[in-house]
Structure 1
Amino acid sequence: MEFKSEEARLVFDIFETRLKPIVSDFYKNKGKQHLTLVKAIESRYISLQESLESAKHISEKVELQRSFKKSLLKLLVKHSKTLGINSYNDFYEQYVIAINKALIELPKSILVKEPFNGYTLKITENPIVTARKILINTKRSSILLFKRTNNFFRRLLRKTPIDVVNYRKRNLKFRNITRQFILNNYIESIHHLFGQLMKSHSSGLIELWKLDEMLDLDFQQDLLLKSQEHTNVPADKNHPIEIFKKVKKAHQASLKEIINNSETIGLEILSQFDNALQKVDTLDLPNKNFGKNRIEKQKKKSEAIYQSELLSWENTHTALFDDWAVDVEITLLYYSVYDEFNFLIDKINSYVNTNIFESFIKIRDYFAKSRQALEASASSKTALKEKIIDERGRITNDLIDKLLSQVIEFLTGCFTDDFETLLKDTNTLVEQVSNNRGFIQNKNYLKGAATSEVKYISPRELLYFEALPVFRMKVEKIEQWTDAQLEKARINLMGLGTVCNFTLESAQIMLEQQSGTYKKAMNTAVDGFERALGHLNKAEQIIAHLQSTIDSELRKAINNFDNDILKLKNTENKFDLNLKIARIKAIERTEQYKKQAIAFIRSAIPKVKILFINTKALIFSKIDEIKSRIGISEEKKYVSFELSEFIDNTQHTLKKLPFVYQRLFQLNPTDEERFFVDRNKELEALRNSYENWKKDRFITVAIVGEKGSGITSLISFFLNQSDIKIPVIKHTLSCKVYTNNAYFSLFSQLFGVEKFESNNQIIDYLNKAGGTQIIILENLQHMFIKLVNGFDCMNMFFELMAHTMKKVLWIGAYTTHSWNYLEKTIHISNYFTNEIYLNPMSQENIEEIIFKRNYLSGFQINFQPDTYALNNKTYQKYDEEQKQIFLKQQFFSTLRHLSSGNISLAQLYWLRSTQMANNDSINIATINKIDFSFVKNLSSNELFTMQTLILHDGLELDDFARVMSKPVSASRNLLTPLLEKGLLIKPRLKYNINPIIFRPMANYLASRNFIN
């Protein structure tokens, strides 16, 4: 390059040898740094592809992807920290040091003397400068004219002419000028090259980011297809490698162009420097332009502009790496959760196949051998009976205590911890996601960004608020469903052992009966075994379905979780992302207010409903009253014939059922623990009473409940389950005891004494007895009659209790309405220290009691739909299992309503609804509701009759006549029509209210103040 001055040539040499290498090295180092990242990603990708090609199972591929994402995330985080202003500052500082060293070698100033041909005027110049130029040019012209005139005369005088050239002297501040051009001007001129380099880096990173997203999409599609053979290599296997080549090639071309441009700019600056040297210290370029302070001020201004540019690119690249890192973190989270899912599924499948299904095989083998043993002994009653007794022992020892207990233990909480571990591990993985990441709207990463353009989100908080709760809810729902299925399997298996034992017990009882043959007994046993195997088949189906459903439903939950978390990758709408958490919190607050409002409405609805019903009843009663007055009252409703036939039909239905089912649903009190349900509170009260009485406390106990509510079962269970080592006398009054003779005869019979003459004799007898004892009397409502002196026996009994409480624990049982009547008349509660009330059974309790009995039979239950259910749109959408759940809920809701929580009545309705379907299943028909409105049309005499029978818990004809103060014939005429209509029943001698109408009748009598 040609220069006008040697000084410019000297500075050019300095630039070429000392400064240009610093600039080139800076760009090369930045490029090398970027290229290192690209190559690192490329090497990891190539390694991933090689590993994926050799991986055989999808879980291995997921683990490889996890490792790749971890490595990529670590790489991005590490590389993002190498960017920033510091790297440029190091370069700038090095460049300034090199200039300072070079400037020391240059002269501080240079004095130049040169011909002066005057200034060239420019129209764009400052007028003052132009005026000064004109003045100087005029002065120069005057001097030149003077010299020329002088030379004219000198030539005439033959003297040597003087030099007419006009010279000027310029004092060049050479160091300052050099600093200005090769530092300030050059650095300002190349600052856009840094932006060009960073834009090139951004472009390459965005290409790699897109490639990463494409590869993730391919692999995730493979996961959805559960492909074992596919890898995540696209159809064009070399395509990703070509992208890496393209990125590296583009980077190298851009870097080369930037370095060339920096050199070209350097030459241009040096050319400007050379030209400036010809003008410095003139009006065109005054020396003041190169003053030290001005140069320093310009340097600081340039540095500030450059720092702003650097900061904007640092913002861009930091946000770019953050944004990409969020994508990587989200994808890594998905792969990690999927890996946990694979581990869970493998563990479940291994557990089920190794433990549960192997146990099922052993149980089947046991049944096959047991059946063969029974068939081999089915030659006579005696041989079969002995074998049945032997097999019952084996069922208890081998089947129930060993095989079934082991598999039930396997099924108890076997997956609960695994689901909790999945959720806990997922929560830990979410905790590892970054809490603060930057991004730029629309992914505009090809230019420097102001600090205000960088927005921040918290991926972790978004996951906690949105994706994670939904995932947790779905997993917990699967867990609850799994627990329910395991419970079903356990119930079937527990029923299996009980069905076997109960069936063989029934066969044994059949053999002990004269009418029972060994063939019938054998058929009963074989049928029971088949039903037991049906339980096993059902359990096996449940577990198999459980396996497949856990896999499919958890996979759906994982994929939905993936879809939810992938939404966090979309940063197109920064407003939505920045407001997402606030919106979710607002929704949570709204949901809380909504729940409070719903709770308020729910609490108000029953009150409003009661008010509506009462108002409606009042209005209709007034309307009926008005209709009655004007003679347009509605036709009376009569008792349905179904009512009178209900109990007979129920008994007829029971006889059609298998012997096993008849045994289970006989309406007799039970003392077996397996049938005892939800009387623990009452049982505990009885036990506490007994324990307190043993401590010499004065205790008497009254048990109050409706007929059929389970009083006898409660007492029997108390006696069997309590550690009672003293004598117990238990008696149920079956007829009225309201005369002295009947009273003394009762206790003579109880204690085996020939005759008691007075109550004092009974008291003395008990107090002088050798030890303590418990005396339980049921149906104590029969110890009074609603007559003058009709309470004498009851009062004597109270006296007996009061004087013998230390020797005897008295337990008496009363019906509810009798107790309430006695409380109003003689304050009966004063004579008992402890009162135990048996409340009506809930719907859940009734369902549990009935199904406990049914499980023992081994029969499968199928609920039949009625017309309402068949026309119900919701019902039509259900699958078979959901339909059965719907029908069961509907049936037991109706059963609870009709039975009013009375378990005996509930069993009557249940038996009335049973229909044999085949050898191992029973259909349950819908309960036909009975219209009880006819009770409102009963006459006064009929209502008084019902009142009397309820208070006395039934009466014989003679006693009824006494209470009603009517002749026997008139009383018979009053009772017989009610009996024929089915309103009354007469099992033996007593007339009593039909249990089907007992509750509606009692409610109506209470509403009319006939009873309390």
Structure 2
Amino acid sequence: MSEKKRMRDLKSALNDLIDQKLAEAVREKRSQYLEEVIELLQRLQTRLQVTDDQSKVLEVMTDTLQNIRGIIEEHKETTIADVYLTAVKKHTFELEKDISVSQSESRFKKLEQDAANVRFIKSLKRTARSLGSISRDFSNILRKLLNKPTRAYEPWRQQIPYQHVTEYHLYKADELLKRRVDGDYRHVTDIILELENYLAENYYESDISGGEPEVVPAPSFDERVNELLQGTKKYRNDLDRQVEEDFDTIRENLLHYLERVGTMERRSGFYQESRVEKRASRFRDVLDNALEEWNEANLQLLDKTETVKEFVGFQKELDEQGMDFIDSLATFFDSYLKKPIKSLQNDLQGIQSSIQTYRDKQNKEAALQLIDDSKKLMAKLVSETKDPLNELIEKTQLSNQANLFSERVLMKANSISEHVLFLYDLDTDNNPPDFNFRMITWRLLLVRSLKEHMLNRLQPSQQHYEDFMVQVAGDLAEVQEVIEVNFDSALELFENADGDNDPYSIVIEAVERTITKLDNTAETVQNKQEQLKLVVIDGCREFSNKMLNLVHNGDSKELQLLDAKYKVKQKAHGWQTKAGARWARIQDSFAVFRRFIGKKVKAYLSVARRFLGFEEQQAEQVLKTDVATYLSNTDEKIKELPYIYRRLFNFDMETDRRFYVTLNENFSYLQKAFESWENNYPSTFAVIGEKGSGKSTYLSYALDDFFKQREVKDIHLVGAISSEVEFIKLMERELDLENVDSIEGIIEAIRNEKKKKVIVLEALQNLYLRNINGYAALESLLYVISETKESIFWIVSSSLYAWNFMDKVVSISEYFSHMMRTDKLDARQIESVILSRHRSSGYELYFEPGELQSKSRAYRKIMDQEEEARKYLKDAYFEDLTNLSEGNASIAMIFWIRSIRDFDETHFYIKPLEVTSVEMIQDLRPDVLFTLASIILHDTLTPSELSKVLLFTEQESRLMLVRLKTRGLLRQDGDRYFVNQLMYRQIVRVLKERNIIHLV
């Protein structure tokens, strides 16, 4: 094959590689990405054209943002770098590894574009070739003389590592393709930015002052979406030309080097395999880094847009809540203030008109009757208006409405993302967009701003709702007094006319004054209503504008101002604090050794002194108080708290699922037990815990989550059921059994049921009485459970101390395959119980160091480092709280409330925990302690039941329970008495110390 034909074939193969295989792979990858972007814009445009409902527009935005995220995530899997590198590797492998070709004349001629060194090299090559030609010609002359064959001209050749050269220069297309990546990915960025701008500027404009907000897709947004769509389509249609231009450039660059490789201009040894691999690695790094930067930028911009969308949704809900509150205020003011006052005015005007008529006719008798009747009528009407007001004042109705509005708004705010990425210094013109970012506590900032701009202004302490109502009631009382005094005077004048005073004038003038007074009162009422309305309207608008500007425009200065504004007001660390911290760290290494030696010496001396009788054991120092003081302080502390805080930490209310902290086992332990039972393994389940530890909550959520497909019978045991007869009646009633008069009958009836079911028995401690004949019902239940556990999945709950006692008496644990403790929360979970509620209040926390912590080496070393010191104090507090509450969430909340030293508009200040010894409990007589222990074991008791347990007379039992209730140790519900939750931990501690109840 001639060299010319071979070169044509090589060039044809190279063109095929570049134009068909590589270009097509890149074209397909880029086209796929752009087609998905075009399809997304088309769907958005179509849905906007047919959508005119506000909620659906927001739904369209949500779907579009999710689809954009899907496109980004999908194309992160296989990038254009992967496609290109794979194609190059695959198709260059088919090329010849090395080729040898004649050097063209251009390798010898000087060209204008040649560098100086290249020109010099070409001069040398021409000289060498000329000398070689002269030498060959002289040699051929001699050969002819000697009759030998002459030598033909042999052109200079170049050895080309063809495969490596091609690979290497194809890999040099990284910057070229990177520019195309910038163009492709720019379209997604523009869509994200346009969606955010629409959401922030056009989608929802607050119109809380009245009427429905006008929320439709703005025409300008439709046009902008169409512009984006047409621009992307045009860009996509231009893709073939782009790819052709790009690969023409790649081809020219490759051919340029192929002509020179193997000559003095470009050594063949340059294209070693290791260098080619490095070039491929660099190609991947350049494109992957570019793609990673684009994806990261677009995802962060997407997160920002979703934050704006979330805020816009919250803004809509806030406006709806505001409108509801304004409507409720309007209803309240109309029903209790405006209409009654207007009615009084109308009645007074009618009286005034009638008196004037009687005056004109000099109808004295009719006037007397009218005045007397009107006085009584007005007294009745004013009383009917004033009495409901006084009742509302007593109930703090208006304050409660404001507090309820605040609570609802804060609960809505609790659904906002706690932390978001805050983007600032955004430059969208760069490719990819350039910005700085940081994580911010978004929900906390939002709640604080809500409080500042609206909720704090609506607080009763700011608006004085009851004072306003008292003022209105006082005005009405004044009206009544004016009517009574003046009408009585007029009646006296009618009977005893003195000639100087006109009784008609007295009445008419009095009515005019009261009407004027009522006008003023009505104006006051109207002004108050308008004031409250403006607080809501202006507060919503100010809050929305400030927070939207913060998150949409990335106003970092505003964020700094907010941070500074809400930062706790503390003294700056003085030089003494910093010096003390440094000195503590310096002393640390010496202190370890000194303390070790000192403790050892003291320990030995202490043992020796006690042995010789020179030293007495010192009792633990605790803070002492009496029950009344303890309860009074606790109640007072609770009443002082903000309304929302009292709601969040009301341990008598059912736990909101958002604040429910599950145990380490979560619900999986119950689920496993249930699955075993469904697989014909006879499982049974017991939930055990102290009073207030969340047994009922646990079961409530578990039933909702796992047993929707099963028939469930939830039985809550109330009152002591101790006999077999009572138990049979209970089962007959709760399970709808007929003609059952024995335990065997119950078992038979259950076995005859066709469907398997779940039975929940709550408060198992009510199924026995602690006396010699008080366990028949419990034993009957255990027998029924053991005989029916194949067809019934039995779940029971019991208080901890009752369970331990029943285990000693009837070995109850042996009847249950799975047992769950709800009162063993660890420090992390107790912290979550407290802080999940606290965060919803919008306040910050400041933990104060105790005396022991202030002396601690660990704390002293970090006390000049604010964040570390705060974390140390917080961790230490919750560790102590967990130990003191023994993992009981309700008890932990009580101690938390007692730990609040003070609070202001932004912070709660938490003092160290105190171990409080209640002197009245410590000093109680044995019979009282045994009464308390009995109630702990049964949860609740009546006087009759207590008499059976402790063998008191019923009268003695009643007097004992009443005395303990009067002291605050017990509370009463009907005829049943139970331990005051505020005193539960102190009572249990004393009973354990006296060895009356035990933890098994």
Larger Rg: 1
TM-score, length-scaled by structure 2: 0.46
TM-score, length-scaled by structure 1: 0.46
